[in-house]
């Protein structure tokens, strides 16, 4: 039964990734039909991100009152309804209205599932869980491409993904008894899950006062800043630094995503031999190496491709390993609150960093991309060093008592 529940959780995380890359595929067609500027995609993205941040911060209370299974079910249903709303939106402003439940659904499920897996499963499962998100982000553009090329209607792309989400929601509904059984099994092993469920949710300020909370949140913010900036600007960097055609550069930029997806699959196997701290450290080193490789302007193209792949490989284990280590660092009783704040920090970093780099690129050059990424990774490395030192100190003091 545990394996069946895990399959449902993987499926739910695929559903989380499905909408994330859908709008990027459809917007070049959507904005012309809505008669709005190309830049208005940013308005929709801000609404979605704001809703995601709000629901992530509320995830502790929602999970306390409803449980992870029901939060997951409600979130998938909300996302399915929002995607259907996208498919029938008559104008841009209705699209903005529908974006509200879209964002609210995404944040709650992200925090609830991440914490549930961190509490109940191994680091390997956590890395594979995030690989499933990558699967969702790959599948949805293919669906939208079919809708645009074969049926000439972006609305159908959203409708198809909405139907897929509805099917996943039905599967999650059927699986709810498995979640209950899993919780009972865990409480029977004398792990304090029952006690954890009775603890009142923490407030935001109380969570921020936890030891090492700010360092971990800085890590999340800066890591996601690099990831989102790479998603948006790595293609442009390749065009300007290597003189490639735009169509070719778009394919080359995918090397970062390939590295990340493959890296998370591989990290799932490596996690059986390495702990979370070791995976994070190895990831930071690899990612910085990849960034350094893409800096020189006169290297062969295959070297740039390797650099982007290495950057993605290094980035792969950082996010899931930080989340998986949360119950250990902050305690199981604080993990849901902390994961929710971590998700909010990640979304804010993803929202702020790409447009800030856009301003930098406009004032100087897109060639600043690797230096921008290095600056953020420098903060990640420093914050990781602080957390690692404090954990060692805490462990030493515990042994001395």
173 three-state secondary structure: helix
Q: Is residue 221 situated within a structural domain?
A: yes
Is 94 exposed, middle or buried, given 0-12, 13-18 or 19+ CB atoms closer than 10 A? middle
- The token pair that represents 266 in the structure block: 């591989």
Q: Is residue 134 situated within a structural domain?
A: yes
Q: Which of 116, 148, 182 is the last residue of a domain?
A: 182
Q: What is the pTM of this model?
A: 0.78
| Whether residue 216 sits in one domain with residue 173 | no
| Whether residue 133 sits in one domain with residue 232 | no
**Domains contained in the chain, number:** 2
Place of tokens 């995976």: 279
Q: Which domain holds residue 267?
A: 207-400
Q: What is the pLDDT along the chain (401 residues), one digit of tens a residue?
A: 667 888 999 999 888 888 877 877 788 788 889 998 877 877 888 888 888 888 888 888 888 888 888 999 999 999 999 999 999 999 999 999 999 999 888 888 888 888 888 888 888 889 898 888 878 877 887 888 888 888 878 999 999 999 999 999 999 999 998 886 444 444 443 343 333 444 567 777 888 888 899 999 999 999 999 988 887 777 778 777 776 665 555 566 678 878 888 899 999 999 888 999 999 999 999 999 999 999 987 778 788 889 989 999 999 999 999 999 998 888 888 888 888 899 889 889 988 888 888 888 888 888 899 999 999 999 999 999 999 988 887 664 444 44
| Whether residue 170 sits in one domain with residue 85 | yes
| Whether residue 232 sits in one domain with residue 174 | no
Q: CA 305, CA 249: separation in Å to the nearest integer?
A: 10
- The token pair that represents 195 in the structure block: 């006690």
CATH of the domain at 348: 1.20.1250.20
Q: How far is CA 222 from CA 159, 227, 242, 366, in A?
A: 35, 9, 27, 19
Q: In sequence order, what are the residues at sequence separation of 6 or more whose Cβ sits closer than 8 angstroms to the Cβ of residue 400?
A: none
| Whether residue 266 sits in one domain with residue 323 | yes
CB count within 10 Å of CB 270 equals 16
Q: CA 275, CA 284: separation in Å to the nearest integer?
A: 15
């Amino acid at each position: 039964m545990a394996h069946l529940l895990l399959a449902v959780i993987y499926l739910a995380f695929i559903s989380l990734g499905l909408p994330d890359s859908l709008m990027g595929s459809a917007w070049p067609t959507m904005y012309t039909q809505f008669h709005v500027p190309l830049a208005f995609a940013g308005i929709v993205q801000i609404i979605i991100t704001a809703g995601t941040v709000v629901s992530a911060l509320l995830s502790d209370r929602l999970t306390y009152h409803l449980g992870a299974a029901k939060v997951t079910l409600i979130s998938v249903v909300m996302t399915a309804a929002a995607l259907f709303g996208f498919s029938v939106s008559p104008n841009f402003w209705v699209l903005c209205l529908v974006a509200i439940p879209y964002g609210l659904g995404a944040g709650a499920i992200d925090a609830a599932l991440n914490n549930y897996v961190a509490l109940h499963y191994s680091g390997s499962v956590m890395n594979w869980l995030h690989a499933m998100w990558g699967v969702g982000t790959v599948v949805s553009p293919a669906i939208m491409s079919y809708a645009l090329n074969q049926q000439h209607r972006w609305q159908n792309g959203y409708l198809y993904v909405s139907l897929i989400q509805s099917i996943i929601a039905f599967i999650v509904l059927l699986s709810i008894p498995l979640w209950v059984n899993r919780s009972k099994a865990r409480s029977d092993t004398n792990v304090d899950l029952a006690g954890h469920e009775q603890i009142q949710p923490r407030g935001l300020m109380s969570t921020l006062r936890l030891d090492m909370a700010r360092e971990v949140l800085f890590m999340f913010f800066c890591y996601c800043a690099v990831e989102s900036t790479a998603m948006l600007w790595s293609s442009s960097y390749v065009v300007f630094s290597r003189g490639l055609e735009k169509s070719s550069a778009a394919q080359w930029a995918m090397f970062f995503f390939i590295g990340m997806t493959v890296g998370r699959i591989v990290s799932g196997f490596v996690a059986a031999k390495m702990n979370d701290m070791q995976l994070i450290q190895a990831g930071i080193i690899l990612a910085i190496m990849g960034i350094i490789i893409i800096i020189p302007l006169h290297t062969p193209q295959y070297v740039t491709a390797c650099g982007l792949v290495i950057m993605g490989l290094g980035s792969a284990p950082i996010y899931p390993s930080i989340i998986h280590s949360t119950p250990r660092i902050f305690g199981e009783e604080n993990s849901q609150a902390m994961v929710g704040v971590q998700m909010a920090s990640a979304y804010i970093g993803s929202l702020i960093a790409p447009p800030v780099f856009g301003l930098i690129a406009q004032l100087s050059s897109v060639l600043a991309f690797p230096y921008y990424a290095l600056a953020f990774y420098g903060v990640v490395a420093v914050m990781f060093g602080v957390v690692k030192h404090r954990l060692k100190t805490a462990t030493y003091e515990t042994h001395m008592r």
